[in-house]
Amino acid sequence: MILRLVKMTFKPEETANFLDYFETIKDDIARTPGVISLKIYQDSDNPNVVFTHSTWLSASYLNVYRRSELFGEVWPKTKVLFDDKPMAWSLTLK
């Protein structure tokens, strides 16, 4: 099992647009094979910083998602809203 944490910094005028968009896609992502949970967090000091927190059965499921049609739709629509390069971590529980 892995935890995937993605930090995204949005242009100030685009943060609300992303949050609205995420509401429309979160159930589709959560239904992706291998997803155990999906959550979103917004930085309390900098509201333009948003984290997605997803738990996957394994890295192989995450990789399948990253090659999926859904990801191919979601990522291009999301990355044009960024104000800084996203950061991502895949973590395992020890």
CATH architecture of the domain covering 2-91: 2-Layer Sandwich (3.30)
pLDDT above 90: residue 94: no
68: Cβ contacts below 8 Å, ≥ 6 apart: 32
> Which regions of the chain does DSSP assign to beta strands (E)?
2-9, 35-42, 49-56, 87-91
CA 69, distance to chain mean position in Å, is 15
Q: What is the pTM of this model?
A: 0.93
**pLDDT tens figures, 3-21:** 999 999 999 999 999 999 9
Which residue ranges make up each domain of the chain? 2-91
**pLDDT tens figures, 67-78:** 999 999 999 999
On the CB side of 39, CA atoms within 13 Å amount to 9
